[in-house]
Amino acid sequence: MEAIQRELVRAWITHDRSILDRLLAPDWMVTHADGRMSAREEVLREFDSGGNRLLEGRVEDVKDV
């Protein structure tokens, strides 16, 4: 699980859409900190437009359950 999280962070930092295409399932959704939910296609449209660009990131304290 941690390796996948690291790959996702790398995709956003390097703006590598191919990583997201490979890792995100067609029905994938994300819940934002404010409780909003976004579907995969919405997130990818924003990614392609350059919105929410990450400059750095890290994965910490991941526990497999």
Enter the pTM of the model. Answer: 0.76
Q: What is the pLDDT of residue 53?
A: 75
pLDDT in tens, 4-63: 888 998 998 899 999 999 999 999 999 988 999 999 999 999 999 987 777 777 766 666
Q: What is the pLDDT of residue 17?
A: 95
* DSSP codes joined into one string, the chain: -HHHHHHHHHHHHHT-HHHHHHHS-TT-EEE-TTS-EEEHHHHHHHHHHTTT--S----------
Domain ranges of the chain: 2-49
Q: Output 24 or 65, whichever has higher pLDDT.
A: 24
